[in-house]
Amino acid sequence: MTKQIRQLDRVVIRFAGDSGDGMQLTGDRFTSETAQLGNDISTLPNFPAEIRAPAGTLPGVSSFQVHFADYDILTPGDAPNVLVAMNPAALKANLADLPRGADIIVNTDEFTKRNLAKVGYQASPLDDDSLAGYVVHPVALTSMTVGALAAFEVSKKDAERSKNMFALGLLSWMYSRPYESTLRFLERKFAARPELVAANVAAFKAGWNFGETTEDFAVRYEVKPAKMKPGTYRNITGNAALSLGLVAAGVRSGLPVFLGAYPITPASDILHELSKHKRFGVTTMQAEDEIAAVGAALGASYGGSLGVTTTSGPGVALKSETISLAVALELPLVIVDVQRAGPSTGMPTKTEQADLNMALYGRHGEAPVAVIAPRSPSDCFFAALEAARIALTYRTPVILLSDNYVANGSEPWLLPDVESLPDLRVDFATEPNGADGTTFLPYLRDPETLARPWAIPGTAGLEHRIGGLEKADKTGDISYDPANHDFMVRTRAARIETIPVPDIEVEDPDGDARVLVLGWGSTYGPIGAACRGVRQRGLSIAQAHLRHLAPMPANLGEVLRSYDKVVIPEMNLGQLAHVIRARYLVDAISYNQVRGLPFTAAELETTLEEVLKNV
């Protein structure tokens, strides 16, 4: 059968089903195929916190959204053009997000009376007019997969589990995706069980052939490669990029990297990834708790390594005393906080930006640290390098504020030239630095950086005290002198505030905008997409994005005062906005949501248009 081929510039697809239906794997494989074709990509995995959530229920729905285009995109898309629903729960949980006219591919085998009742359907929506505004494709995914695998030596249960590969094959056909990498992936994944390799490959090909032969799918689509800067790209998640950034920091500094970590969602993938890179001098330790993890990392820094600890919000709370100790000891330490929805356990697989106050102020006493935030998955690589640079150069803890959205999302990453990465080499103290030539002064500071000498334990003649009690200036002796304490507190604060960071850059194409949108972290994509939409409507708007949150760019105050209104969208209740108001006396307009999901570009665009009307 000859099928029509239609060109599209962009598509948003959402795969949805039970946690056991393999939706994350399916979405990941489709994304990898799409990356190989050269499209620009942005993804949004969304899954329950439970390892195996209740099957067939709304809380148990797992989804993976992928947005791909022939031009540069900034978000995973506001609304899916295509929904693959593996059961009634997946349909009901995601239907409200679909625009009218969207395609819905449903697994009809799962629309049983029992499964319909679980989610409150009195009758099947496939049999009434409730889906009349959509293009519905009923496909018996489960039974067709089982039928396709009847000749294979696999159990009925294993055959049913392969239905996600049938769905992947069908969607790969629909959107003209290359599939050779998926077949190689299946060979690696099930290498120990050849029968499962054969079954999953057969299920994938059955889905592809079904699309080729069925009359229900009369059109096949193509999305041409995006025009990107020349170079070698790979699809990468934020956690993977951050891990490689830490590896690169170790290589460029010539130091061993030590990660002390306790598993916690959504930061655990960094521990998993770094454990693979022992050949680059990376040592990973899965500690018994968060306190032990950060203590080991700080000990490693004392011993001359780049000490790193990874966690999420609850773990930062437990680590706060040791972070304060690192402030007092003035040693480098990188603390990665992959933020999630709180408080307490909260919604551990959902995203939020609510740890900014804790990063800036969440320690006892005056204990300032540097704070930076990546804006996208690939930017996590460079943010990790920057965190290491600041920590090593200024002998300070640095908190790296990622979040669930950038950590698990993915996008194409242009592999950098290694030689272009910053030189992070450190000069350790090797000789006494006192005026008499025999005394070591552990708190005699570099006049430019205010950093103290870093002396590796065991270096002859450089013995010195460590510990949390206040130190005397220069000598490092224990001191209760009021004037000394005041001096040391102010000096530690000045060391952070005087770290040179790049000026904030403003995107204002027309040069006459009166409204500035200021963001930080993962709001970069939605803000950028919203501003594009506003400009396409003929309105002028400026945008700027903060990477360095402590210290802030030196020109930030001047930039803020250049606009009539400043809008700050955040996935919290206005934490950056409070800081901006207090520090710069700018009456910022705070736009906040804490739903566990990123902003959509459309909702931000509507908000910005309302602000522009009132300027």
Report if residue 446 sits inside a domain: no
**Last residue in a domain, options 402, 420, 438:** 420
How far apart CA 446 and CA 429 sit, in angstroms, is: 12
Same domain, 150 and 244: no
- Three-class secondary structure of residue 590 per DSSP: strand
Per-residue tokens: 257: 């990297």
Cα–Cα distance, 54 to 513 (Å, whole number): 50
Tell me how many degrees the CA angle 524-527-529 measures, rounded to the nearest 5: 105
- Return the bridge partners of 518, or none: 544
Q: Which two tokens stand for residue 614?
A: 């009132």
- Residue 429: other Cβ atoms inside 10 A: 19
Clarify whether residues 95 and 153 are in a common domain.
yes
**Alpha helix (H) ranges present in 38-123?**
88-94, 113-118
- Same domain as 410, residue 319: yes
Our measurement of the distance from residue 497's CA atom to the centroid of its chain's CA atoms, rounded to an integer in Å, reads 27
* Residue 433 included in any domain: no
Residues 585, 557 contacting (CB under 8 angstroms): no
282-286 and 257-261 as β-strands: parallel, antiparallel, unpaired? parallel
CATH code assigned at 205:
3.40.920.10
Residue 130 lies in a domain: yes
- Is residue 205 a contact partner of residue 168, using CB atoms and an 8 Å limit? no
**Residue 540, domain member (yes or no):** yes
Q: Are residues 22 and 132 in the same domain?
A: yes
8 A C-beta contact, residue 145 and residue 107? no
Q: How far apart are CA 50 and CA 578, in angstroms?
A: 35
What is the C-alpha separation between 50 and 347, in angstroms, rounded?
10
CA separation for the pair 396, 496 (Å, rounded):
8
Quote the CA–CA distance of 470 and 366 in Å, as a whole number.
Answer: 12
Q: Which among 223, 248, 263 is the end of a domain?
A: 223
| 182 in the same domain as 92 | yes
Residues 87 and 187 in one domain: yes
What's the CATH code of the domain at 510?
A: 3.40.50.920
Alpha carbons 506 and 604: distance in angstroms, whole number: 18
| Residues 6+ away with beta carbon under 8 Å from 564 | 514, 515, 615
- How far does Cα 98 stand from its chain's mean position? 25
Residue identified by tokens 């590969």 is 165
Blockwise average pLDDT, block size 10, the chain, 615 residues? 89 96 96 96 95 89 98 97 98 97 97 96 94 96 97 93 97 96 95 94 97 93 95 96 98 98 97 98 98 98 98 98 98 98 96 98 97 98 98 98 98 95 97 96 97 96 94 97 98 97 96 97 98 97 98 98 98 98 97 97 97 94
Domain around 556: 506-613
Residue 457 in domain: no
Within a domain: residue 482?
A: no
The residue out of 380, 399, 420 marking a domain boundary is: 420
Bridge partners, 565 (sequence order): 515
In angstroms, how far is the first alpha carbon of the chain from the final one? 58
326 domain-assigned: yes
User: 245 and 188: one domain?
Assistant: no
What totals of helices (H) and strands (E) does the chain contain, helices first? Answer: 20, 22
Count of positions (residues) in the chain:
615
**Token output for 66:** 């992928």
Q: Which residues contact 507 (CB under 8 A, 6 or more apart)?
A: 531, 542, 543, 544
Indicate if 246 and 143 belong to the same structural domain.
no
| Tally of domains within the chain | 3
The Cβ of residue 129 has, within 10 Å, a number of other Cβ atoms equal to 7
Judgement on whether residues 244 and 181 belong to the same structural domain of the protein: no
DSSP state of 443: B
Positive/negative CA dihedral, 211, 215, 216, 221: positive
The answer to whether 575 and 524 have CB atoms below 8 angstroms apart is no
Residue 1's pLDDT is: 63
Residue 261 lies in a domain: yes
Rounded to whole angstroms, the Cα distance separating 465 from 407 reads 39
Indicate whether 401 and 277 sit together in one domain.
yes
Question: CA 275 from chain center: how many Å?
Answer: 19
- The CATH number of whichever domain residue 280 belongs to comes to 3.40.50.970
CA 231 to centroid of chain Cα atoms: 23
Task: Looking at the structure, tell me whether residues 212 and 329 fall in a common domain.
Answer: no
Q: How far is CA 429 from CA 84, 298, 458, in A?
A: 60, 18, 12
Looking at the fold, whether 43 and 190 belong to one and the same domain comes out as: yes
**pLDDT at residue 329 in the model:** 97
Q: In sequence order, what E strands does 156-269 have?
A: 219-223, 233-237, 257-261
Residue 218: which residues within 8 A CB-CB, separation 6 or more? Answer: 3, 4
From 239, 260, 530, 212, select the one nearest 383 (Cα to Cα).
Answer: 239
